[in-house]
C-alpha cells in the first residue's frame, strides 16, 4: 500500500508540473533514457524484434504498409549471427525467473499455452543475435517451439515475451553515465540535451485519440518506424546542470536498429512489470507491447538499465492544442 501511495504521489506531482511546462521544440542530439524509461521503451522496441513467427500475409498494399508502420515485421528477421546490439550486450528471456533483486517478476510460467515446457532463451549474446521466441507455428528461422506460445483469453497462441533481461558486460555507474551524457552535449556545443524519465503507453494513447486525422497520423508515423511517446522529458543545460520539464515531445526513428550503436549502458537495472496486449491489430507489433486490463493481456516483465543514445531526433508539439471541455466535470459526491 505504501508503494502504491508513493507512486501516486509521484505521478500527481509530475502531472501538475506538466500542465505548467513549456512545449518541446524540435531537437537532434544525445538523449539519455533513465532506467525507469529505458525498460518500457525496450518492451516496445524489442517486442516485435524477438518474435520469430512468420508475419501475417497481406494481399493489399495498403494493409501491408499499415502492418509495416505498426511494427508487424521484425527488423531482426533472417539476421541470426549478425550484430544487432553493442558488443557485450545480451538479451535473455527467462519464464522461470521469479524476482530480480527482491522485486517480483510477473511474466513467469511453467508450461506455455500450447503445452510446451517453458525454456530460457538467449536471444542476443555479446551483441550477436542467437535466437528468437517461438511457438508451435514454424517461423523463417526455426521449425520448433521454445515454450513461448502464449495466449490471452480467447486469443490464439503467439510467440510472446515473458521475463526479458537486457544486460551488458560493459556498464557505467549512474554518475559516469551522466558525465558522459553532459560531455557529449558540450562536445556538440548544444544549449541543452534531453533526459527521458518516463514513457507513455502507446496503445492506450492511440485508442484514446478521437480526432481521425490524428489516428491516421499515428498509423502513418508508425511505432514500427520508430515513433515513441515519452511522457516525462527534461531539458538539461550542460553549463549549469539546470533541469527543465517539457511537454508534447515525440521521438522519431527509435527502432531496433537504433539500439545497435548505443553510446552507453548503465548498471542501474529497473524492473518494469506490465500487460502485453493481444488485441486484434496490435498482436506482434510495437503497439502490442502495451495494453490494459480492459483489452485483456499477458503479464510480462522487462529488466533493463539506463541507456544513452548519441543522437536521436525529437519533434516538438504539432498542431493546435486540444481545447478544454465547455462544462465542468460532474461532482464526485452525491448532491445534498
pLDDT exceeds cutoff 60 at 141: yes
- The residue-averaged pLDDT of 217-237 equals 72
User: 311 vs 18, which has greater pLDDT?
Assistant: 311
User: 241 vs 64, which has greater pLDDT?
Assistant: 241
Which one, of 184, 181, 177, 142, lies nearest residue 159 by Cα?
142
Could you state, in order of their start, the residue ranges of all structural domains in the chain? 20-315
pLDDT band at residue 92 under the 50/70/90 scheme: very high
Report the percentage of the chain scoring pLDDT > 90.
47
**Bridge partners, 27 (sequence order):** 314
pLDDT band at residue 221 under the 50/70/90 scheme: very low
- The residue-averaged pLDDT of 1-15 equals 83
Report the percentage of the chain scoring pLDDT > 70.
79
pLDDT exceeds cutoff 70 at 109: yes
Residues 6+ apart with CB under 8 A from 263: 30, 180, 184, 308, 309, 310
Q: Which three cell numbers stand for residue 229?
A: 511517446
User: 259 vs 205, which has greater pLDDT?
Assistant: 259
> How much is the pLDDT for 293?
42
Which one, of 182, 202, 183, lies nearest residue 194 by Cα?
182
What is the enclosing helix (H) or strand (E) of 159?
strand 158-159
Least confident of 75-79, 203-207, 223-227: 203-207
Could you tell me if 101 and 276 are in contact, meaning their C-beta atoms sit under 8 angstroms apart?
no
Q: Phi, psi at residue 21, to the nearest 5°?
A: -75, 150
Report d(CA 305, CA 35) in Å as an integer.
5
Report the number of secondary-structure helices (H) and strands (E) in the chain: 6, 17
Report d(CA 232, CA 326) in Å as an integer.
28
323-336 pLDDT, tens digit per residue, is 778 888 888 777 66
Which one, of 319, 314, 305, 238, lies nearest residue 101 by Cα?
305
Report d(CA 128, CA 284) in Å as an integer.
22
As a whole number, the mean pLDDT across the chain is 82
Least confident of 32-46, 64-78, 86-100: 64-78
Residues 6+ apart with CB under 8 A from 256: 45, 46, 49, 75, 76, 84
> How much is the pLDDT for 215?
46
Amino acid at each position: 500500500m505504501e508503494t502504491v501511495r508513493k507512486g501516486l504521489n509521484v505521478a500527481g506531482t509530475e502531472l501538475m508540473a506538466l500542465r505548467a511546462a513549456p512545449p518541446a521544440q524540435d531537437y537532434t542530439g544525445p538523449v539519455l533514457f533513465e532506467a525507469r524509461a529505458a525498460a518500457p521503451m525496450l518492451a516496445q522496441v524489442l517486442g516485435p524484434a524477438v518474435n520469430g513467427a512468420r508475419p501475417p500475409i497481406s494481399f493489399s498494399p495498403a494493409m501491408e504498409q499499415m502492418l509495416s508502420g505498426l511494427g508487424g515485421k521484425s527488423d531482426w528477421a533472417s539476421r541470426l549471427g549478425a550484430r544487432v546490439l553493442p558488443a557485450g550486450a545480451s538479451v535473455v528471456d527467462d519464464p522461470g525467473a521469479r524476482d530480480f533483486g527482491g522485486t517480483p517478476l510477473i511474466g513467469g510460467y511453467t508450461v506455455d499455452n500450447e503445452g510446451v515446457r517453458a525454456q530460457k532463451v538467449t536471444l542476443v549474446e555479446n551483441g550477436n543475435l542467437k535466437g528468437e521466441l517461438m511457438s508451435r507455428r514454424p517461423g523463417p528461422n526455426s521449425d520448433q517451439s521454445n515454450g513461448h506460445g502464449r495466449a490471452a483469453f480467447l486469443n490464439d497462441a503467439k510467440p510472446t515475451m515473458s521475463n526479458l533481461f537486457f544486460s551488458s558486460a560493459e556498464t557505467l555507474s549512474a554518475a559516469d553515465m551522466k558525465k558522459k551524457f553532459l560531455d557529449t552535449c558540450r562536445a556538440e556545443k548544444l544549449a541543452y540535451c534531453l533526459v527521458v524519465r518516463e514513457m507513455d503507453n502507446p496503445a492506450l494513447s492511440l485508442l484514446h485519440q478521437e480526432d481521425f486525422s490524428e489516428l491516421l497520423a499515428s498509423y502513418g508515423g508508425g511505432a514500427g518506424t520508430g515513433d515513441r511517446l515519452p511522457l516525462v522529458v527534461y531539458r538539461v543545460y550542460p553549463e549549469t546542470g539546470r533541469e527543465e520539464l517539457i511537454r508534447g515531445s515525440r521521438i522519431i526513428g527509435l527502432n531496433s536498429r537504433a539500439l545497435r550503436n548505443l553510446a552507453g549502458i548503465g548498471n542501474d537495472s529497473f524492473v518494469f512489470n506490465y500487460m502485453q496486449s493481444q488485441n486484434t491489430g496490435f498482436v506482434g507489433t510495437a503497439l502490442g507491447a502495451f495494453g490494459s486490463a480492459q483489452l485483456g493481456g499477458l503479464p510480462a516483465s522487462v529488466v533493463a538499465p539506463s541507456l544513452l543514445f548519441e543522437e536521436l531526433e525529437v519533434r516538438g508539439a504539432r498542431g493546435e492544442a486540444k481545447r478544454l471541455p465547455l462544462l465542468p466535470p460532474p461532482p464526485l459526491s452525491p448532491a445534498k
